[in-house]
Structure 1
Amino acid sequence: MRKTLMFLLVLCIAAPYAYAAEKNYTDSVTGMEFVLVKGGCFKMGDTYGDRRPEEDKDEVPVHEVCVDDVYMGKYEVTVAEFRKFVNDTGYRTDAEKDAGGYSGCMTIDFDDNKWDWRGWANWKNPNKYQSNRNDHPVSCISWNDAKAFTKWLSSKTGKGYRLPTEAEWEYAARAGTQTRNYWGNSKDDACRYANVRDLTSFEGGRTWKEAHDCKDGYAFVAPVGQFRPNDFGLYDMMGNVWEWCEDWFNKDYYSNSPKWNPTGPTSGEKRIARGGSWIARPLYLRASHRGDDEPVLRDANDGFRVVLPSR
């Protein structure tokens, strides 16, 4: 009897962490799939050497960083998954509240050929050129919105969901590589792996600068998982939508970053976003590129991905 009670006690204690032993994991509330990214050490920063020397000083010095195991979303958070959060809580995004004194969301309108604030744009309708499908990555999302989602999911499940740190994100995106991107150094191989600014983007008379010399088949956002994954089994780590990270941004942080599990500066004015988007030119489609924006700001190419510490 005593042995039985002890066995049951161990089971009860271990139950909340049962997912930690699994290679992959599916969240029961949203149905989101997670991939176990085994921790390790890597060279973080512009290892390839093609940054703009003056504008992209924040990508150096290249430095060694080590991160722990983490479960990372196999895909970017989708419209359907975000809708479950909204339906459960009644949450209104920063775009819907015109937060920060900005109307709606920043998006493209080819009537005036400008990327500008549009009062009608939000996560339900991020642009007027395609319907917003359930399997699209949710966009027009501020950092505040992304954090609200992770807090909700944590409260629903009792687990510590959050955004990835910048170091976790780059480690996972590189997937063991030190090249320009996880598919290699060629800009024009991007279309097999990512939804980017490409020749498809010019169809219908649209005009862009500095596109990738290939066709990915999508002029705007693509459903998640349409392109080849990286070697960790993660999809769309480059392109489709920018992905918010936990960290505050500081252009000089790499000079003082700790080696083990860096979490960024303790304060700041802007948060990190990584990975580029469907509208990103080659310069931004690099594993080392650091995007940044105010936590309240939102664009039609801003989304996020969720992580869960493995223990």
Structure 2
Amino acid sequence: MPDSPYYDLNEIEPRVCQLAAEVLGLKLDEVLPESRLIEDLHVDSLCMVELFMTVEEEFDIEIPNKPTNPFAKSVFTRNPFRIRDLAEVVYLQQESCCPQRSGWRRQVVARSSGPELTFTQLSGRFQTSYPVPDPLLYERLEAETDVPLFRRFSDGMRCFQLPGGQVTLGSQAPIAQADEGPVHSVELDSFLIDAEPVSTTAHCRFLNSIHSFEKQWRDWFLLEETDDRIAQMQIELTGNLWRPLAGTEWMPMVLVSWWGANAYSLWTNRWDWHFYQSHAGFLPTEAQWEYAAQGAYQEVANDETEALSYVAAQHEPGTTYVADSMRMAPVHALLGVSKFGLHHMAGNVWQWCRDWYAEDFYQTPAAQDRNPVNTQPTGIRSERGGSWVGPTELCRPSYRRGREPWARGRCLGFRCVGQATNLP
């Protein structure tokens, strides 16, 4: 017999509803066992962390990042994921114990500020027509390293040209999840990648430079009036111009869907943004991301987490945020820096990738292709990097996960890539 109380599923379900209502600030009758966490309750990563931690403490269980229990794993991968599914996870995880997570269930220790470079991303409008045949997209900058540095005309973004060659992907570390293996080598061509995440300023420039309408905005970033994340919306429409709210101008653009990120990536590379729901686009592939992120993650002992050089574990349970108080670092802060010089390749915000996410992709022949990318639809798009909300271990470059392409989160942004052709 277990030492702690063993709960019947009929007892767990109403208590999970009650806890969800408390955490999400909803009335009890608005949270039902069949409520879908994302579609009905608008739960994003921050809310999910808060809810799961509360449930863990209430029932003295562990809800692992990726369950190894095959029964709990099958429940966790249900789509959509409902309150009753969370209650079933609690039921199946009984006899586990509430964990003390490194860099998560403790005083906020990771850095939210650091030395900054010049902010180069542009506001205003970019006047051009689409598509542009063989456009000159970049100007070359003097670089202090061996990695060539460019600046994109459309949005002012600094971009590094990473060398091509054989790249090792995946992890077999003890902390690695099943979807990170096996370790394998692939051939990547040279490519350009943004030095930092896209800011609210640059995103408003995109919106002000195109003839888009509310339908697209709702696909990309607009929230329903009933969505409480409106309090964290970073941009506003003033007259006929989109502007960042005061205090957010240098922050990563978050609460943006994969569709919105892909539309921006097409526009900034001077392709037709109207095809934002297609697989065409200029978001990094998982392989490009993992390669570009080398050297950004830093593992330190539990008692030395104040030495972290990236932004993670910033969320304090129960804290209410507005747009300019979310604990993100400015995009041009020198934190989470990879060996190539890119910032925020570990922590600060999760970033969308081009691939469809599949747990077994690294085990498939397609993962061995030159310039691999998963083009087989799964309903889930990949994201990488970790964020200011979650624990440090999610910031590892090989850590993989995904969300539906219409999903958006207060710790989810993006950066773009470009082709290393027709360069000055």
TM-score, structure 1 normalization: 0.72
Task: Please say if 1:223 is aligned against 2:299.
Answer: no
Deviation of 1:103 after TM superposition, in Å, equals 3.4
Question: Residue 309 of structure 2 is aligned with which of 175, 179, 193?
Answer: 193
Task: Please say if 1:31 is aligned against 2:141.
Answer: no
What is the distance in 1 between the residues matched to 2:350 and 2:399? 11
Give the alignment of 1:281-296 within 5 angstroms.
281-296=391-406
What is the distance in 2 between the residues matched to 1:101 and 1:124? 10
Q: What residue ranges of structure 1 are gaps of 5+ in the alignment? A: 1-12, 107-116, 176-180, 208-217
Task: Please say if 1:153 is aligned against 2:264.
Answer: no
Partners of 2:172 and 2:180 within 8 A in 1:
no
Give the alignment of 1:173-184 within 5 angstroms.
173-175=293-295, 182-184=297-299
What is the distance in 2 between the residues matched to 1:96 and 1:191? 40
Task: Please say if 1:124 is aligned against 2:235.
Answer: yes
What is the distance in 2 between the residues matched to 1:190 and 1:62? 31
Where 2:293 maps in the other structure, the secondary structure is helix
Partners of 2:219 and 2:260 within 8 A in 1:
no
Task: Point out the more displaced range, 245-254 or 280-289.
Answer: 280-289
Match for residue 8 of structure 1? none
Match for residue 172 of structure 1? 292
What is the distance in 2 between the residues matched to 1:164 and 1:287? 13
Match for residue 179 of structure 2? 58
Match for residue 252 of structure 2? 137
Q: What residue ranges of structure 2 are gaps of 5+ in the alignment? A: 1-132, 143-147, 237-244, 273-279
Match for residue 123 of structure 2? none
Deviation of 1:275 after TM superposition, in Å, equals 0.1
What is the distance in 2 between the residues matched to 1:237 and 1:73? 11
- Matched residue type, 2:265: T
- Matched residue type, 2:165: G
Partners of 1:140 and 1:302 within 8 A in 2:
yes
Cα RMSD (Å) of the superposition?
A: 3.7
| Cα distance change, pair 60–142 in 1 and its aligned pair in 2 (3 A) | same
Where 1:292 maps in the other structure, the secondary structure is strand
- The percentage of aligned residue pairs carrying the same residue is 28
Match for residue 301 of structure 1? 411
What is the distance in 2 between the residues matched to 1:307 and 1:250? 22
What is the distance in 1 between the residues matched to 2:219 and 2:402? 20
Deviation of 1:286 after TM superposition, in Å, equals 1.2
| Cα distance change, pair 20–167 in 1 and its aligned pair in 2 (3 A) | farther
| Cα distance change, pair 189–93 in 1 and its aligned pair in 2 (3 A) | farther
Task: Please say if 1:69 is aligned against 2:190.
Answer: yes
Where 2:259 maps in the other structure, the secondary structure is helix
- Matched residue type, 1:266: Q
Task: Please say if 1:41 is aligned against 2:166.
Answer: yes
What is the distance in 1 between the residues matched to 2:207 and 2:284? 22
Deviation of 1:152 after TM superposition, in Å, equals 1.5
* Greater relative CO (CA pairs within 8 A, separation 6+): 1
Aligned length: 262
| Cα distance change, pair 262–93 in 1 and its aligned pair in 2 (3 A) | farther
| Cα distance change, pair 258–38 in 1 and its aligned pair in 2 (3 A) | same
Match for residue 203 of structure 2? 82
What is the distance in 1 between the residues matched to 2:297 and 2:211? 38
What is the distance in 1 between the residues matched to 2:139 and 2:415? 19
Deviation of 1:94 after TM superposition, in Å, equals 8.0
| Cα distance change, pair 173–278 in 1 and its aligned pair in 2 (3 A) | same
Partners of 2:285 and 2:355 within 8 A in 1:
yes
- Matched residue type, 1:284: L
Partners of 2:219 and 2:259 within 8 A in 1:
no
What is the distance in 1 between the residues matched to 2:298 and 2:203? 29
- Matched residue type, 1:222: A
Question: Residue 235 of structure 1 is aligned with which of 331, 343, 366?
Answer: 343
